[in-house]
Structure 1
Amino acid sequence: MKIVVASKRKKIETLNKEYPGYEVLDITSKAEDPWVKFSPFYPHGNIPIPFSNELSQSVEGLWQALKVFEKEDIDIQKTLITNMKGIKRTVRRLGKVKGHRKGIHGNKLLGYLEARKQIYIPAYNWVLRNKLTAELNLITEKASNGVVLLDYETNGDINDLRKPLSHAHLVKQYLEKN
């Protein structure tokens, strides 16, 4: 299986030169169906919110909902968004991020690394296991000849907190059974 992750910002000509014979799959929120379903913004619905007995429409919705800022606590409304717009919550408007609440009704705030490990990755992996089986099988078939997964972020190191984590890397790791 040959899977690589590359920046969506790279030109297709460059990608074709770097990875001859590989199929390029955009799996961002701007992708075509069925690949757009890999976007954390995609509203699969009924995604369990970690440490809660409630559900979210999207992974990004629950990630943003559980974020706690200086000027604002969690925003459960983010879990209801189905049009992939207006999900992000920013430090510009809400002040510094204090952490992610461990569950909708939880008292504990998780740091960024702990939140990645206990909220984001489990939620995204749940979607891979429960909502994207057919699409994962398609990528696996294509990966015998080589596949380039495009993402806006290319950070595949969960411990590197300087950049957002790449969901394309999570797909790659999932398929490679890491």
Structure 2
Amino acid sequence: MSRVTRFARCVFVPRYHVENLPAGSVVYDVSSYAEPPHCELSPMWVHGGVPVPGAPGETSDTVEGVWQGLKVIRGQTAPRYFRGPGAKRGGKPSGHRFGTRLLGVVEARRLIYVPTYEWVIENRTSPEQIRAFIDAAFAGVTQHFHDVGDNGDPNDATQPLAQAAVLVRYLNRKCAERAAAG
């Protein structure tokens, strides 16, 4: 007979909906405006040594640096964004460079942004912080995560993807893996 382990879900909530959550809800701001240690989950946070997908041997200081540095604007990437704190890059992008390929935004999220952000979670953020989120879920606590973005759908190319949604998918996947391991 298999044992079923239940856990509460981690939930992405757009920032403008935080005030509509039930009283007593556990809410985490994981934007660059958050208090430590949660601000360290922001793609703007300088972690250093972040591998740049599609560019073997290249590293960035931030997830945002990877995203902006590989963005192609007027035919050019901007590797200077790999250094220093995360910053937005102006201009209309034609895609993101992944090796020799030019990717559209949805494919770039799948091949560049999500793997880079998850690499940082696994290799640069506090394992205790991630474990605490997962332990709380197993204790039955539904946790709501938000940042400055409102788009939780990586397939919606009309607006930037909220990294809190990527974090939530990662946490829920780790909870499911822990539950399956029994």
Per the TM superposition, whether the score is higher than 0.5 is: yes
* Secondary structure class of the residue paired with 2:27: strand
Match of 1:125 in 2: 118
Tell me if the contact between 2:15 and 2:150 (Cα under 8 Å) persists in the aligned partners. Answer: no
Shift of 1:160: 1.2
| Counterpart AA for 1:112 | V
In 1, the alpha carbon distance for the partners of 2:62 and 2:111 equals 16
Q: Does the 8 Å contact 2:10/2:145 carry over to 1?
A: yes
Q: Does 1:4 align with 2:11?
A: yes
Rounded Cα–Cα distance in structure 2 between residues aligned with 1:30 and 1:45: 19
Q: Which residue matches 1:136?
A: 130
Q: Given the two structures, how large is their TM-score scaled by the length of structure 1?
A: 0.83
- Count of aligned residue pairs for this structure pair: 163
Gaps of 5+ in 1: none
- RMSD (Å) for aligned C-alpha atoms: 1.8
Letter of the 1:164 partner, please give it: P
Residue 74 of structure 1 aligns with which residue?
A: 77
1:10 Cα deviation from its structure 2 partner: 4.7
Residue in structure 2 matched with residue 89 of structure 1 by the alignment: 89
| Distance in structure 1 (CA, Å) of the matches to 2:88 and 2:166 | 20
Structure 2, unpaired ranges of 5+: 1-7, 177-182
Gap change, CA 1:44 and 1:89, over 3 Å in 2: same
The answer for the alignment partner of 1:64 in structure 2 is: 68
Q: Secondary structure at the match of 1:176?
A: helix
Closer/same/farther in 2, CA of residues 25 and 31 from structure 1, 3 Å limit? same
CA contact (8 A) 2:27 2:144 kept: yes
TM-score (norm 2): 0.81
User: Structure 1 residue 146 and structure 2 residue 142: aligned?
Assistant: yes
Offset at residue 134 of structure 1 (A): 1.9
Deviation string 1:44-100 (CA, Å, 9 cap, x unpaired) is 111110011111100000100011112x61111111113x4xx11112xxxx31111
One-letter amino acid of the counterpart of residue 38, structure 2:
W
Query: Who is 1:172 aligned against?
Result: 168
The equivalent of 1:27 in structure 2 is 30
1:45 maps to which residue? Answer: 48
Tell me if structure 1 keeps the 8 A contact 2:14–2:151.
no
Offset of 1:175 from its aligned partner?
1.0
